[in-house]
């Protein structure tokens, strides 16, 4: 199909200093847990984005020197010439599709205690490192600054040698340039005080890179212009703008960030698309250089509006490029409705905090491009004429049916209810989670285009019916249900009193029950559900207290960077929050709690209790079917498998992955031993450096 002319503006080239981006789609830097340890995985992941039409593709932050190692998580390094090869791998892969390769050069201080290199971190002042590390940075003297600028130049030289077109100076919250820019910089020399003084290091970083690349690469800056902490931090309208004015024409492009990472990448529970535009617009008025902004952009109409309103010149889209590496191409080919829109859940971010390679709820192929050979758009054709019955149209069943259909199998998707989407459909009705419905919407839309996939609603199937239907393969994706008895992470037994009528589960609330208050929500699940139910019941006028055995409410959301926003919202709504407490027993009108460590007991009024504790598979159909293997054989059924929550409950990301994996692996010969490709460290000869 031809491109909609309304979107032509998105495909105009943009000059960035000495190089030209073929269109306005810009993938900002994003870490992915691959880094120096997994260079092939990294190159393949970026290559898929280049193939998908992005004009500029960056690495994640790339450490320029061991005195700022940024390790723990595997990130990129350009410490010496041996590091050039991994970056060249990515540059070549990206260039093969006509995109520009960018590297984000980084030197972090304060946020970076050098746990691996054990070098003493440096910054503008001596201060304790963040995250409660018992390590301080030391204040840089002028010699240190000179040395550091030399490392910037060396890294730029190496990046150019690797084939980079764009060298980005990272002036993000964790970075040395930003720590100098901050109004909390207390230096009294020419690197502190006035805006001009505070901006000196950034100017010198740009100059050092320019010296290194000698006019062959663009030198750009990614910078925070507003710390979102009032007058204690930079503010876009005042000193943030003054900094841009001071350095206005220095870089070849401005890439603008608002707030620290958790703010910049807020989830859809807390902000809509294009949340930063007002502040980014300020930058456009201070420079003639191209400006990039971010804001979870997935809608081409919103993107066009950002350009036409003069807010930005290039559309920065990190999470949208993870959820759909082919987003630009789909717009270009007039297939915008095929875009797999990011749902804003930040599962991709959780890889950073859990030190694991990136994954995505919407895009099960993310991170698997090299080690499994999965491509987000292509899949091997079917290897047999087997027909497949998928039972259950939740995230696992929908993805399984869609991907099997894409392979060409005859698929029958049976859903017990009227509505498709399973848990996603129910949870998308909870406060702030509407965008999660995109997991269902994209798959339902794609399935509708596949004539070989039939969807049957209101088709609750018994084992006998399944056997009579004549399919060769059966996939059971019937989801999970919440337990009511309190058995879970903390308690390995039923909690006394949990069998009473005023004790409910999240399924009851999702089904429309609104219990009388005061309500105690016992959150032993520790992800989002307890806190979302607290919001819902509070909005319905109930007095609500959320009780958690963990040291934080919704403790796992630390990994999605939502923890503090959840606490802020619940506090603002008047929800009580009690951490470090277990639920001992449930009486009439009250519960008994105990401190997790001291054991001290206390009572709390509770007319109703919601047990947000753990889920168990709804696997009765699978059990019935597999209990009689001879009947299966007789019915011509060659396999019956459970996938997703029906096998082992997890987050939605695990469900879409499970559905996709089943579809990819059907009829493929099993690989003996380890089934994925692995990268190996170089084993040096004994005694070699
Ligand atoms: C998984 C992930 C990793 C990120 N890593 C980096 C990074 O290494 N450097 C950086 O400047 N920004 C990083 N970011 C921030 C993004 O580049 C971007 O500014 C932010 O996600 C907002 O854009 P979006 O709404 O298009 O996702 C990361 C974001 C995500 C989601
Ligand atoms: S994991 Fe969630 S937030 Fe991240 S890209 Fe995928 S859908 Fe978007």
Task: Tell me what the pLDDT averaged over the chain comes to.
Answer: 96
Instruction: Answer yes or no: is 685 within a domain.
Output: no
- Are 523 and 577 in the same domain? yes
End of a domain among 353, 379, 405?
353
Least confident of 505-514, 545-554, 669-678: 669-678
Instruction: Kindly report the backbone phi and psi dihedral angles of residue 98, in degrees, each rounded to the nearest multiple of 5, phi listed first.
Output: 75, 20
Q: What is the pLDDT of residues 547-586, one digit of tens each?
A: 999 999 999 999 999 999 999 999 999 999 999 999 999 9
**Ligand 1 centroid to 325 CA: how many Å?**
15
Residue pair 99/59 in contact by the 8 Å Cβ criterion: no
Tell me what pLDDT residue 689 has. 66
Contacts of 248 (CB under 8 A, 6+ apart): 286, 287, 288, 289
* 611 in the same domain as 624: no
> For 657, what's the count of Cα atoms within 13 Å in the CB-facing half-sphere?
18
CATH number at residue 533: 3.50.50.60
145-149 — which CB contacts under 8 Å span 24+ positions? 145/191, 145/201, 145/204, 148/65, 148/107, 148/122, 148/176, 149/204, 149/205, 149/207, 149/208
pLDDT for position 685? 83
- Let me know if residue 217 belongs to a domain: yes
Write out the H or E segment, with its range, that includes residue 426. Answer: helix 423-427
The answer, yes or no, to whether any atom of ligand 2 lies below 6 A from the CB of 246, is: no
Atom of ligand 1 nearest to the CA of 222: 11
Q: How many domains does the chain have?
A: 3
Q: Are residues 468 and 495 in the same domain?
A: no
Would residue 676 count as lying in a domain?
A: no
What percent of the chain has a predicted confidence (pLDDT) above 90?
93
Boundary of a domain, candidates 584, 615, 646: 615
Over residues 15-72, the pLDDT tens digits come to: 999 999 999 999 999 999 999 899 999 999 999 999 999 999 999 999 999 999 888 8
Judgement on whether residues 475 and 507 belong to the same structural domain of the protein:
no
β 291-293/254-258 pair status: parallel
pLDDT band at 544 (very low <50, low <70, confident <90, very high): very high
- Is 410 domain-assigned? yes
pLDDT higher at 684 or 538? 538
Residue 288 sits in the same domain as residue 349: yes
Supply the residue whose CA is at minimum distance from atom 5 of ligand 1: 30
**CATH number of the domain enclosing 29:** 3.20.20.70
- Nearest ligand to the C-alpha atom of residue 349: 1
Atom of ligand 1 nearest to the CA of 295: 25
Q: Are residues 474 and 556 in the same domain?
A: no
Report residue 670's pLDDT band, with 50, 70 and 90 as the boundaries.
confident
Q: Is 346 in the pocket of ligand 2 (CB under 6 A)?
A: yes
**Does residue 510 have a pLDDT over 80?**
yes
| Nearest ligand, CA 364 | 2
Quickly list DSSP for 227-263. Answer: -SSGGGS--IIIIIHHHHHHHTTSSS-EEEEESSHHH
> Quick check: 688 pLDDT over 80?
no
125: number of Cβ within 10 Å: 19
What CA dihedral angle connects 486, 492, 495 and 501, to 10 degrees?
30
pLDDT at position 112 is 85
Same domain, 129 and 177: yes
> Is the beta carbon of 283 within 6 A of some atom in ligand 2?
no
Q: Take atom 25 of ligand 1 and give the residue whose Cα is closest.
A: 296
Mean pLDDT score, 235-252: 96
The answer on pLDDT for 684 being more than 90 is no
324-345 per-position pLDDT tens digit: 999 999 999 999 999 999 999 9
Measured from the Cα of 318, ligand 2's closest atom is: 5
Q: How many whole angstroms from 161 Cα to the centroid of ligand 2?
A: 33
340 Cα: distance to centroid of ligand 2 (angstroms):
10
Q: Is residue 378 a part of any domain in this protein?
A: no
Question: Do 304 and 285 share a structural domain?
Answer: yes
Q: Could you give the CA distance from residue 215 to residue 122 in angstroms, rounded to a whole number?
A: 30
* Contact criterion met (CB below 8 Å) for 58 and 32: no
Instruction: Give yes or no: residues 557 and 609 share one domain.
Output: yes
The ligand placed nearest to the CA atom of residue 312 is 1
Q: Choose between 545 and 670: higher pLDDT.
A: 545
Q: Which residues constitute the domain of residue 583?
A: 482-615
Please tell me if the CB atom of residue 439 comes closer than 6 angstroms to any atom of ligand 2: no
Residue 267 alpha carbon to ligand 2 centre in Å: 9
pLDDT of residue 525: 98
Domain membership flag for residue 107: yes
Q: Are residues 42 and 173 in the same domain?
A: yes
Q: Is the CB of 172 under 6 A from ligand 1?
A: yes
The verdict on residue 328 lying in a domain is yes
Residue 220 Cβ inside 6 Å of ligand 1? The answer reads: no
Distance in Å from the first CA to the final CA of the chain: 57
Among all bound ligands, the one having the nearest atom to the CA of 353 is 1
Three-class HEC string of 180-195: HHCCCCCCCCCCCCCH
C-alpha span between 15 and 215 (Å, rounded):
14
348 CB under 6 A from ligand 2? yes
Per-residue burial over 279-311, b = 16 or more CB atoms within 10 Å of its CB, e = otherwise: bbbbbbebbebbbbbbbbbbbbebbbebbeeeb
Cα gap 461→659, rounded to integer Å: 20
The answer as to whether 272 is a domain residue is: yes
Residues 437 and 467 in one domain: yes
Are 343 and 492 found together in one domain?
Answer: no
pLDDT (average), residues 265-289: 96
- Nearest bound ligand to CA 255? 1
Residue scoring higher pLDDT (394 or 131): 394
Q: Identify the band that residue 674 occupies on the pLDDT scale cut at 50, 70 and 90.
A: confident
Q: Which of 56, 264, 324 to mutate to test the pocket of ligand 1 (most atoms within 8 A of CB)?
A: 264
Render pLDDT for 159-202 as a digit per residue (tens, 0 to 9).
999 999 999 999 999 899 999 999 999 999 999 999 999 999 99
């Amino acid at each position: 199909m031809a491109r909609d002319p309304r979107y032509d503006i998105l495909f105009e080239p943009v000059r960035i200093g000495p190089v030209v981006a073929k269109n306005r789609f810009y993938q900002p830097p994003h870490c992915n847990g691959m880094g120096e340890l997994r260079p092939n995985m990294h190159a393949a992941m970026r290559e898929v984005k280049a193939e998908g039409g992005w004009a500029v593709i960056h690495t994640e932050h790339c450490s320029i020197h061991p005195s700022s190692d940024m390790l723990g998580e595997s990130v990129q390094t350009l410490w010496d010439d041996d590091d050039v090869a991994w970056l060249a791998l990515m540059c070549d892969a990206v260039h093969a599709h006509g995109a520009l390769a960018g590297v984000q050069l980084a030197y972090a201080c304060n946020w970076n205690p050098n746990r691996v290199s054990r070098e003493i971190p440096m910054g503008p002042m001596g201060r304790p490192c963040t995250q409660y590390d018992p390590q301080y940075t030391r204040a840089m003297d002028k010699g240190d600054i000179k040395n550091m600028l030399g490392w910037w130049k060396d890294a730029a030289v190496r990046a150019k040698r690797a084939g980079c077109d764009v060298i980005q100076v990272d002036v993000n919250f964790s970075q040395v340039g930003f720590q100098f820019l901050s109004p909390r910089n207390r230096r009294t020399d020419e690197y502190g005080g006035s805006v001009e003084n505070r901006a000196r290091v950034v100017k010198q970083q740009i100059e050092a890179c320019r010296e290194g690349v000698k006019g062959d690469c663009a030198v750009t800056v990614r910078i925070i212009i507003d710390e979102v902490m009032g007058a204690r931090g930079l503010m876009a309208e005042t000193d943030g703008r003054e900094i841009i004015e001071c350095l206005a024409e220095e870089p070849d492009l401005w890439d603008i960030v608002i707030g620290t990472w958790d703010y910049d990448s807020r989830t859809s529970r807390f902000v809509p698309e294009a949340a930063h535009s007002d502040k980014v617009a300020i930058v456009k008025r201070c420079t003639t250089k191209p400006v990039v902004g971010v804001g979870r952009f997935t809608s081409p109409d919103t993107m066009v509006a950002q350009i036409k309103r003069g807010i930005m010149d290039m559309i920065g889209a990190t999470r949208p490029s993870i959820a759909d590496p082919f987003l630009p191409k789909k717009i270009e080919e007039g297939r915008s409705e095929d875009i797999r829109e990011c749902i804003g859940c930040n599962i991709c971010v959780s890889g950073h905090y859990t030190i694991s390679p990136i994954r995505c709820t919407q895009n099960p192929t993310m991170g698997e491009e090299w080690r499994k050979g999965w491509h987000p758009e292509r899949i091997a054709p079917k290897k047999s004429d087997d027909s497949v019955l998928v039972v259950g149209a939740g995230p696992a069943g929908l993805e399984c049916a869609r991907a099997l259909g894409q392979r060409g199998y005859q698929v029958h998707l049976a859903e017990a209810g009227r509505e498709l989407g399973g848990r996603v459909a129910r949870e998308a009705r909870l406060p702030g989670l509407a965008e999660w419905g995109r997991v269902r919407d994209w798959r339902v839309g794609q399935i509708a285009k596949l004539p070989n996939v039939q969807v049957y609603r209101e088709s609750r199937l018994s084992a006998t019916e399944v056997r009579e239907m004549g399919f060769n393969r059966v996939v059971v994706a019937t989801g999970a249900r919440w337990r009511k008895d309190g058995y879970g992470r903390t308690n390995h037994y039923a909690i006394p009193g949990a069998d009473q009528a005023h004790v409910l589960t999240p399924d009851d609330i999702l089904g429309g029950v609104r219990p009388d208050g005061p309500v105690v929500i016992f959150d032993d699940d520790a992800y989002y559900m307890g806190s979302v139910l607290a919001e819902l019941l509070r909005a319905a006028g109930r007095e609500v207290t959320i009780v958690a055995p963990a040291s934080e409410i919704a403790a796992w959301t630390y990994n999605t960077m939502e923890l503090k926003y959840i606490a802020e919202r619940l506090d603002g709504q008047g929800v009580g929050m009690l951490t470090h407490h277990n639920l001992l027993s449930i009486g009439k009108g009250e519960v008994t709690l105990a401190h997790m460590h001291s054991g001290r007991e206390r009572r709390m009024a509770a007319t109703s209790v919601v047990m947000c504790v753990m889920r168990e598979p709804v696997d009765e159909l699978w059990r019935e079917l597999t209990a009689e293997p001879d009947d299966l054989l007789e019915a011509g059924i060659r396999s019956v498998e459970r996938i997703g929550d029906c096998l082992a409950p997890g987050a939605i990301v695990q469900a879409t992955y499970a559905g996709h994996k089943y579809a990819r692996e059907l009829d493929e010969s099993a690989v003996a031993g380890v089934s994925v490709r692995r990268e190996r460290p170089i084993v040096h000869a004994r005694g070699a450096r």
